[in-house]
Structure 1
Amino acid sequence: MSIEFIGFLAHQEASEAVVPHGPLVNPEFVGAYARTQEYGGFDKALIAYHSAAPDGFQVAAYAARETSRLGLLIAHRPGVVAPTVAARQFATLDHFSQGRAAVNIITGGNDAEQQRDGDFLGHDERYERTDEYLSLIKQAWQSPEPFDFDGRHYKVRGHFAQVRPLQRGPAGPHIPVYFSGSSPAAVAVAGKHADVFMMWGEPLAGIAEQIAAVRASAARYGRADKLRFSLSIRPILGATEDEAWARAERILAATRGKLEKAAGPGGLHRIAPGQPQNVGSQRLAAFAAQGTVLDKRLWTGIAALTGAVAGTAATTGIGGNSTALVGTPEQVAEALLDYHEIGVGTFLIRGFDPLLDAVLYGRELIPEVRRQLSLRQHPGQARRAAAGL
């Protein structure tokens, strides 16, 4: 199984531990961040979605101009724009980027966040709509002639798109569909539509459980062997293991300070109140309750501090994807490949110090993962290396 690395593209530099600075839409930062990841060997970079954030399509278009190889994975929320419009937007970007567009479908797991963009459907209804949305968008990409579509949430008559994706899949023009969501409703839709199912950084047992559930869902459509799986994780690197853990503690302290300042009178519960609605955050919070370090080096400190709450990024830079692998590049690479052995082929890695960590990943982590993967896949080569031959 091959391996893919996805980075992260934001409109300004910020994270759990870094206070946003510079203009809200910072073209110089976007360009530098994109070029750094392209130079460092990343295959793609994710542009996130939030109801208060700048438009991801335009961030992606700017990054496409600043790079020549880096893929552009745009988080996209069904229900905000019509699927036929989205189909044309993605197909157009695919041409301007010379086949580098991809979509990350995020149906949404927080009612308040959905309602800010005018969406008042319940959780399971949103996934029912996503099923229709993806069926219609794929038909718009692939149909060589006008077609009708009749669903509960969408109806079109005589739709035909002049522009279709530059990339192709088994059924014709196609843009890779990455899919996020951990609930049973999400897994059901992912099994039908996803090319890549995305998961947050859980212990190995939790990831194996999710992979099995999604494969079982995909088997209903004869797609069990068609899906790939992605793990989103936040590596914290150090020249030594002690240095890496010391850095993790500094990140935790900086995040706590930032949260306290944002919360003001009333404390941290104003930022992360109660039980999160989305299942992915619930899972991370439950794992965080089991211990600060799980498996060999999966650190849950930030998830425990924030309750793994997603959707607060507009004010704090914090989302649900907050678990980290802590150690030297060699140690973190080994931990990533443990996930690879159970079926993960894509790693979405971003740091708590975004630009600096992107440099470190490209210089130290990505090459080390590829080196260790080669040795695992060619054990004879590993034995010769150990013997000094």
Structure 2
Amino acid sequence: MNVFWYMCAPDGPYPWKPEGSRTVDFGYYKQLAMAYDHLGYTGALFATGAHDVWPLAGALLPYAERMKFLLAFHPGLIAPTLLAKMAATMQEFSNGRILLNVVSGDAKMLGAYGMTLPHDERYLMADEYLTVWHRLMAGETVTQKGRYFETVGARLALPVGSTIAPPPLWFGGSSEAAIDVAARHVDTYLSWGETPDEMGRKIEQVRARAAHYGRELSYGIRLYVIVRETDAKAWEAAADLFGHMDEAAIAANQRFVSNTDSVGQQRMSRLHGGVKPENPRDLEIYPNLWAGIGLVRPGPGTAIVGSPDTVIRTLEAYQAVGVETFILSGMPLLEEAYRFGELVLPRLDLSRPEAAAAPKAPARTYTWSTLFDRDLSGNRIDG
């Protein structure tokens, strides 16, 4: 089992409202990175948000010795050759701890960056984009004039494929077009917050499509988690979150996710319909799986709620249908990372990354003159 924690603003005990938010700056990110690394999480998801993931991850590398960095990116916003160069650089500097999460997003969000392709065409573009990516990562020189990208003599200077391993690709998307791109190109398929039964059916669908292309994938899911010493205390914590979900916050989130062309977001929104019931348990869509967070937060809106035994039992239910990787979070990120890390993580059969070895300097031949005729400032020494 791989367990990742989340790394993105906003954060706080009730981050959908100003008085429930905390400042998320570089000092706070350092605390998160050191906590995740110390607690033994497999890695962290650097999601697209207020801060750009590339400078953030680069700045945090010195503060995490073991954990992997799963970096989200949008195909087409930068050229595939530039992405490959950035990823190879990060992979070298991190000693092979970089993973990439392919995010096609939705039309409203991508429009802000100048991308106006309709839904299915975004995946046609992603298919071409990732084809160029794979060729570059294989060490090829790429010249092609495609429908979306024209590349002339592109090649990576860094030795990717020999001394630098290509970063594995992860991908989330629920539409037919998305599943086809995942089956053709990526290593790990991710989904949002479905029940174990729904997740099992989706895995079978993706697995069959991947087999059509002669490939096998691994599978992961993104969820919130509310864990306390007992089930009753966990549901009290969920009820506390629920009590802070006011009409203004719910309406603001529903406006944000309305008219989205993201199939995954549409599925999450249908779990609650944008309506807050009187009893938070009315949004329990599966034993100890709660859809309430989706009222005020976009993206994956379901949380596992319960004691450590209940949480582990639910994780194992997902594992039984083929899920190997869990990307989890709680609110606030720091406190809940420690809570889960101390109550649940030690009891899991976790794939724990080893500490990254320091990079070795290339071998160099020294002569007597290079060793002795100049001092440390580069000044020549006589005698």
Asked if TM exceeds 0.5, the reply is: yes
Report the counterpart of residue 171 of structure 2 in structure 1.
Answer: 179
Work out whether residues 240 and 328 of structure 1, in 8 Å CA contact, stay in contact via their aligned partners in 2. Answer: yes
1:168-189 Cα offsets, whole Å, 9 max, x none, are 8xxx942110001111110010
Work out whether residues 46 and 70 of structure 2, in 8 Å CA contact, stay in contact via their aligned partners in 1. Answer: yes
Q: How do 1:60-75 and structure 2 match up within 5 A?
A: 60-75=57-72
Report the counterpart of residue 341 of structure 2 in structure 1.
Answer: 362
- Deviation, 1:293, is 1.2
Report the counterpart of residue 381 of structure 1 in structure 2.
Answer: none
Distance in 2 (alpha carbons) for counterparts of 1:57 and 1:167: 24
- Deviation, 1:212, is 1.1
- Deviation, 1:70, is 1.0
1:259-298 Cα offsets, whole Å, 9 max, x none, are 62x68xxx54764464543111111223346951122211
Distance in 2 (alpha carbons) for counterparts of 1:179 and 1:65: 27
Report the counterpart of residue 129 of structure 1 in structure 2.
Answer: 125
Q: What is the number of residues matched between the two proteins? A: 340
The aligned amino acid for 1:21 is R
Distance in 1 (alpha carbons) for counterparts of 2:6 and 2:65: 16
Equivalent residue of 2:221, what SS?
strand
- Deviation, 1:227, is 0.4
Equivalent residue of 1:320, what SS?
coil
Distance in 2 (alpha carbons) for counterparts of 1:288 and 1:204: 18
- Deviation, 1:19, is 3.6
- Structure 2 unaligned spans of 5+: 274-280, 351-383
The aligned amino acid for 2:261 is Q
Distance in 2 (alpha carbons) for counterparts of 1:229 and 1:328: 25
Distance in 1 (alpha carbons) for counterparts of 2:160 and 2:243: 46
Report the counterpart of residue 136 of structure 2 in structure 1.
Answer: 140
> Would the alpha carbon gap of residues 273 and 85 (structure 1) be closer, same or farther in structure 2, given more than 3 Å must change?
closer
Distance in 1 (alpha carbons) for counterparts of 2:282 and 2:175: 23
Q: How do 1:2-13 and structure 2 match up within 5 A?
A: 3-10=1-8, 13=11
The aligned amino acid for 1:152 is R
Report the counterpart of residue 233 of structure 1 in structure 2.
Answer: 223
Q: Percent identity of the aligned residues?
A: 29
Report the counterpart of residue 297 of structure 1 in structure 2.
Answer: 288
1:137-163 Cα offsets, whole Å, 9 max, x none, are 1111112x5231232111212111102
Equivalent residue of 1:234, what SS?
strand
Q: Which has the larger radius of gyration?
A: 2
RMSD over aligned Cα, in angstroms?
2.3
Report the counterpart of residue 38 of structure 2 in structure 1.
Answer: 39
Work out whether residues 253 and 298 of structure 2, in 8 Å CA contact, stay in contact via their aligned partners in 1. Answer: no
Tell me the TM-score normalized by structure 2.
0.83
Report the counterpart of residue 113 of structure 2 in structure 1.
Answer: 117
Work out whether residues 5 and 42 of structure 1, in 8 Å CA contact, stay in contact via their aligned partners in 2. Answer: yes
- Structure 1 unaligned spans of 5+: 307-317, 372-389
> Would the alpha carbon gap of residues 229 and 146 (structure 1) be closer, same or farther in structure 2, given more than 3 Å must change?
same
- Deviation, 1:343, is 0.2
2:197 aligned to 205, 217, 220, which one? 205
1:13-51 Cα offsets, whole Å, 9 max, x none, are 4444784332x5x1111111011111111111011114x
Matched, 1:154 2:133: no
Work out whether residues 223 and 327 of structure 2, in 8 Å CA contact, stay in contact via their aligned partners in 1. Answer: yes
Work out whether residues 11 and 59 of structure 1, in 8 Å CA contact, stay in contact via their aligned partners in 2. Answer: no
1:221 aligned to 208, 213, 216, which one? 213
Distance in 2 (alpha carbons) for counterparts of 1:132 and 1:273: 28
The aligned amino acid for 2:183 is G
After TM superposition, the runs of 4+ consecutive aligned structure 1 residues lying more than 3 A away are: 11-20, 164-168, 267-276, 287-291
Report the counterpart of residue 249 of structure 1 in structure 2.
Answer: 239
Distance in 2 (alpha carbons) for counterparts of 1:350 and 1:165: 33
Report the counterpart of residue 286 of structure 1 in structure 2.
Answer: 270
Work out whether residues 165 and 175 of structure 1, in 8 Å CA contact, stay in contact via their aligned partners in 2. Answer: no
Work out whether residues 187 and 218 of structure 2, in 8 Å CA contact, stay in contact via their aligned partners in 1. Answer: yes
Report the counterpart of residue 377 of structure 1 in structure 2.
Answer: none
Distance in 1 (alpha carbons) for counterparts of 2:272 and 2:254: 20
Work out whether residues 11 and 331 of structure 2, in 8 Å CA contact, stay in contact via their aligned partners in 1. Answer: no
